[in-house]
Amino acid sequence: MIFKRIRDLTVATIYDGLDQIENPIVMLNQYLRDMEKEITSAEKAITKQMTIKASFEKQKSEAVELVFKRVQQAELALKAGEEQLAKKALLSKNQYEEKVNYYEEVCVQNEEKISELKDQLHEMREKYQEMKDKKVVLIARANAAKTQRSMDVAMDRFDHEKAQAGFQRIEQKIFEMETTNHLNKGKRDVLLTSETSELEYNEAVEQEFNKLKEKISTQAPV
């Protein structure tokens, strides 16, 4: 089949090949460029085939005219008593009739070939448009796959147990610091409370002492 290679280049083929190519985006663009070239070639082939068909139709038309002319010549020769000349004219007429049949058959074949080429060209254009429409989706898939691959590589390199152990050590250190701060604060509170209690106690004692002292001093000696 003409253009079979490009016709076999379907979207499914691209999907299947994504995992096997280095750069999907570059390959997609290359596929589109190749298809554009094939479409141009198909258009030129159709134009050439139509030109050939027109040439055969012209030759057929000329042969038909010659058939008619040879019949007239044969009639005139026969009327003039030129039997051999009439027979030669009829022989030539038969030869041109064969050419007419040949050109007619060739024209039919060319018409079929042109129709086939046009159908293939139409299919190619549809596939091309389909590929263009799918290009954005495929690029998005390729980028997503690339991102996922990078994440997988990063996860493979990431030592989860080591990181977890490091976090636990840091957490333990922070806990120890918080505990130390808490204990120091408790000591300060106890000391402050102790000092305040001792001062208030001394004042009470001093008051009692002064009262007792005054009482004693006012008592008459026995």
Tokens 């060739």 belong to residue: 106
The domain defined by 4-158 carries CATH number 1.10.1760: no
Q: Domain map of the chain by residue range?
A: 4-158, 162-222
Span 80-89, pLDDT tens digits: 888 899 899 9
Contacts (Cβ under 8 Å, ≥6 apart) of 130: 11
Cβ burial, residue 113 (10 Å; 0-12/13-18/19+):
middle
Tens place of pLDDT per residue across the chain (222 aa): 444 444 454 444 544 444 444 577 778 888 888 989 999 998 998 999 999 999 999 999 999 999 999 999 999 988 888 889 989 999 999 999 999 999 999 999 999 999 999 998 999 899 888 888 888 787 787 778 778 877 777 666 665 666 677 778 887 888 778 787 777 776 666 555 555 555 455 676 677 767 777 767 776 555
